[in-house]
Structure 1
Amino acid sequence: MATMTAAAPSTAVDTRSIWKVILASALGTMIEWYDFYIFGSLATVIALKFFPTESPTAALLSTLATFGAGFAARPFGALVFGRIGDLVGRKYAFLVTLLIMGGATTLIGLLPTYASIGILAPTILVIIRIILGLALGGEYGGAAVYVAEHVPDNRRGFYTSFIQITATLGLFVSLLVILIVRGSMPTATFNDWGWRIPFILSIFLVGVSVYIRSKMKESPLFTKLKSEGKTSTSPIKDSFGTARSWRTFFLVLLGAAAGQAVVWYTGQFYVNTWMKSALKINATTADTIVAVALLLGMPFFVVMGALSDRIGRKKVMMAGNLLAVIFLYPIFLGIQSAAGAITPEVKDAAGKVVTPAVAANPNTVVITLLIFLMLLFVTMVYGPIAAFLVESFPAKIRYTSVSLPYHFGNGYFGGWLPFIATALVASTGNIFAGLWFPIGVAAMTFIIGMLFLKETNHVSIHDETEESYPTPA
């Protein structure tokens, strides 16, 4: 990366103002993650509502593919809203994305099922998921940049880590809402129409966040650039118009974002689907296990963000990737062992399932601790990455440049992981085959990151005269 100079710690920091910025940014981002992940958290139910049900596995794969379609759209959203954020302002861009997310999520809760309108149901669902992906593509980069441009250089990892918590918090809240709604009614009622409630609730959460965000001021660094006429007139061209910038993009993508994505989605998302489908753990039990593990793991995003301020972003992120490569398979093997025996499926004379196969007596404490261990790897790769991305690009194109590699990594490497992993399991008959993909990608990121990325934690983003794209090693 480019030559970097030590940033002097800020001496005049309005801590109260910083926490207001973090609260407003984090609340909205958490709600957008909730909107995005509520779909995946209900994948096994949605599969039977919006797709033909002749084959439950095919229906689940179709649902996961629809989930992946939203991720595939995220890089395009990063370009669209990143451009708006670099031209008009950070605040305006992520106010718009929040409104789009809330509206689209609510529409899923109101959408007629396959039984009612046939092929139109999955078609509309895919379109809504693409819209959600576009909006989320503009949200994360805006929130990360907005917070980073308000805080002192020497504590950027610590403060931006609160934005990093929001993805896990959004997933946790989605699971919590599902557990509450599912527990308040009979299973048949939940599967019939109760699953719609978590989607419809989004409109109320978004209303609160929009009100709070509307009171926020624009990023001081962006305001200064705009007043001096130094903002970019063509953010996309300025971000990706040279061979050097594309080389930087691919190194950040493959040496940081890709590994972060697969570790995140394996440790927090795929493991949940895998426990339900491969180990036959009851859905409520699996959701509760993951929710508790998430709650235990969330504080460590801040721990790892703060640690990266002291010892460097690269050391923390690469260690997380390496630990994931070494321990993902043993952890999943341990979860299988703790899940115990599966009672056989019972069918009647007509071939209809009377009693589904189920894990009879899973050791929930052991499984929770094993998932918590995976979450520590997640916090290592994810806690420092917002600060790392912000420090890799200059302010006038930061929104666009930060958003694209992050959402490309999470949209393609991470978002398609549940589908790819589930398909590998289905095609091989090996319940651990799905781990080949995340382990391979995390290994690639560790090698590329160690060889080519340089440290960024001493870059001053407030000194534009010394800042440039990172030059690859």
Structure 2
Amino acid sequence: MAGAAALQREPTEKEIRLVIAASSAGTIFEWYDFFIYGTLAGLIGAAFFPSGNETLQILLVWAGFAVGFGFRPLGAILFGYLGDRLGRKYTFLVTVTLMGIATAGVGLIPSAASIGLAAPIIVIGLRILQGLALGGEYGGAAIYVAEHAPPEKRGFYTSFIQASVVGGFVLSIIVVLACRAIIPADDFAEWGWRIPFLLSIALLGISLWMRLKLSESPVFQAMKEAGETSSNPFKESLTYPGNPKRIFVALFGITGILTTIWYTSFFSSLSFLRRDMRVDESTVEWILLIAGFISMSFYIVVGKWSDRVGRKKPIIIGAIATLALLFPIFWTMGSLANPGLAQAAKDNPVVVTGQNCTTDPFADLFDREQSGCGKILETLTASGVAYTVEEGETLGLTVGGEEVALGANWAGDPAARRDGLQDALSSRGFDFSKQRPPLANILGIGALLLVCGMLSALTYGSVAALLTEMFPAKIRYSSMSIPYHIGAGYLGGFLPLIAGIIVARTGDVYAGLWYTMAVVAFGLIVAWWGLPDGPPTDFEESNELPPVGPATP
């Protein structure tokens, strides 16, 4: 790489500020496009995945969410190849364009009531395009900033990319809240939810305008002029000396940790508060908006800190803290969000008796018959009610020791079963109305979400710099994008779906957190073993991960 190093020019401060601003803005817009689907999950379910089964409907929405993530690795391979062959700048211009067009398309699809099965099929197709685009976006933006940054400030400068991911989530909430404020509730549910998707066209225009002002990465320019670019970045990423180990560590020891913590902190908490705890939608959105906005600063602080202490220490601290705090955070959040529900379950325990008392959340989808007991359990879970199961010859339900009469039409009518159960439980102290917790409780929930934001920042804030330093420049785009998007695409992107299935099967609204705990625990072991200690270093030609040593001056 001597030829490339000799040709590399140090960017000016003005150029670096433009690089950070344009890359961060584009990242915010692209993640906004991707996250607006999750932010509006309930309305998307009603429009494109209608079902009389509330649990199945939300699982289908999360399945559509997961499909986009499932195609991120393919996007990483495709755009990583282009980024290492053609350049960083033009590759992420393509990705942001693809994302903007696909997102706007979701806002134009007729509902399932109008075009039937074609509606969800088209939605899935557009989610695939979004996943492909996102697979090329993060690597391009992260590398582009990192290759402009001086080594001693690389963590600080690239931390704005991580903060921009949260910024995309925050922007999606801001747009939804603004639309809710302007558009009457019934109209928003019917057609107004499409506006945030259509807004992507305007955001795409702004992003393209900003990114077209950028020049190519100086590192890539130097490699290209010196004739040192890779002829087959994908193949070389898998065969380059030491890369298999680096990819394994990047996949499980870095991405597995950060992505499950991120989606648990933001998307799981969103679904938990809004669906399981029945907190008013706008209240949840305002809490997450403020907590997310404040949390953006945490990523920048951690990125800057990592320039001094190294990349490993924040990740290890964040992973250990997550394993210790995750369950207590959500238990406390639940008690603050809907204290009446938790207290009612404690005062009047719900016991279900019967045979074959297991739930099959996909029974309706595959035309399988679910047991009567399974149907009762499914409805209780969807209502956020904790229960215990006892074997019995006949189906029965008791609340606080009192037997509840099961309606004759409950077996075949999910709506009647839900209304009947909730009416029976309401008379025994359970409150299924929309919750608006008192201010003190809202502040408490916000504080807990800030703790989640800090856990995410510790494990994510320095990652762009770390991944850039782990891989050789000529195959960097491919080498870091592939493990990052496999981890983020499958371990993180499938988290809402997997956690939802676990909750549906167990009836415990907190059980889905075990998925996050398992991934983080394994990732902690890998990170402890595989990441270098000490101050950051640039990549060195070696079969091992970068050795401990001072950053290149």
Alpha-carbon shift at residue 357 of structure 1 (Å) = 3.5
- What amino acid is aligned across from residue 187 of structure 2 in structure 1? T
Confirm or deny that 1:222 pairs with 2:217. no
Q: Which residue of 1 aligns with 2:96?
A: 98
- In 2, the alpha carbon distance for the partners of 1:333 and 1:23 equals 39
> Secondary structure of 2:107's partner?
helix
Aligned-partner Cα distance in 2 for 1:199–1:253: 31
In the other structure, the counterpart of 2:69 is 71
Q: Distance in 2 between matches of 1:152 and 1:65?
A: 41
Structure 2: which 5+ runs fail to align? 1-7, 345-382, 384-406, 424-431, 548-553
- Write out aligned runs for 1:23-38 (5 A): 23-38=21-36
Work out whether residues 342 and 359 of structure 1, in 8 Å CA contact, stay in contact via their aligned partners in 2. Answer: no
- Could you tell me which of 475, 479, 494 is aligned with 1:416? 494
Q: Give the partner amino acid of 2:157.
A: Y
- The answer to whether 1:119 aligns with 2:117 is yes
Give per-residue Cα distances to partners, 1:115-159, cap 9 Å, x unaligned.
011111001101100110000000000000000000101110000
Please state if 1:386 is matched with 2:464.
Answer: yes
Q: 2:452 aligns with which of 363, 367, 374?
A: 374
Query: What whole-Å deviation, never above 9, does each CA across 1:5-56 have from its counterpart, x for those lacking one?
Result: xxxxx99662221111111111111100000000010001111110122112
* Secondary structure in structure 1 of the residue aligned to 2:279: coil
Task: Give 1:358's aligned residue.
Answer: 434
State TM-score, norm by structure 1: 0.93
Q: Does residue 326 of structure 2 align to residue 328 of structure 1? A: yes
Assess if the C-alpha contact under 8 Å between 2:316 and 2:528 holds in 1: yes
Gaps in structure 1 of 5+ consecutive residues:
1-9
Partner of 2:507: 429
Superposed displacement of residue 358, structure 1? 2.6
CA–CA separation in structure 1 for the residues paired with 2:453 and 2:90? 33
Aligned residues: 458
Measure how far apart 1:431 and its partner are: 1.0
2:527 paired residue among 441, 449, 454? 449
Contact residue 84 and residue 477 of structure 2 kept, 8 A = yes
* Contact 1:47/1:56 (<8 A) preserved: no
Does residue 398 of structure 1 match 2:398? no
C-alpha distance in structure 2 between counterparts of 1:371 and 1:272, whole Å = 10
Shift in alpha-carbon separation, 1:73–1:451, aligned structure 2, 3 A: same
> Which residue identity is paired with 1:365?
L
SS at the partner of 1:433? coil
In structure 2, what residue type is equivalent to 1:311? V
Backbone CA RMSD of aligned residues: 2.2
How many Å separate the matches in 1 of 2:455 and 2:542?
30
Between stretches 49-58 and 107-116, larger displacement belongs to: 49-58
Is residue 280–residue 342 contact of structure 1 (8 Å, CA) maintained in 2?
Answer: no
The separation in 2 between residues aligned to 1:152 and 1:338, in whole angstroms, is: 46
| Residue 439 in structure 1 maps to residue 510 in structure 2 | no
Q: Which has the higher helix share?
A: 1
Per-residue CA distance 1:253-296 (angstroms, 9 max, x = gap): 11111011101111111110111111111111111111111111
Alpha-carbon separation, structure 2, partners of 1:470 and 1:237: 19
**Which deviates the most, 64-73 or 234-243?**
234-243
**Preserved CA contact (<8 Å) 1:391 1:457:** no
* Corresponding residue SS for 2:71: helix
Matched residue, 1:190 = 188
CA contact (8 A) 1:341 1:360 kept: no
Alignment partners' CA distance in 1, 2:154 and 2:546: 22
Question: Once the two structures are aligned, what percentage of the paired residues are identical?
Answer: 42
Give the Cα–Cα distance (whole angstroms) in 1 for the partners of residues 535 and 44 of structure 2.
43
TM-score normalised according to structure 2 size: 0.80
Change in CA separation of 1:469 and 1:174 when aligned onto 2, cut-off 3 Å: farther
Partner residue, 2:362: none
Q: Distance in 2 between matches of 1:59 and 1:279?
A: 18
- The residue that corresponds to 2:238 in the other structure is 240
> CA contact under 8 A between 2:311 and 2:536: conserved in structure 1?
no
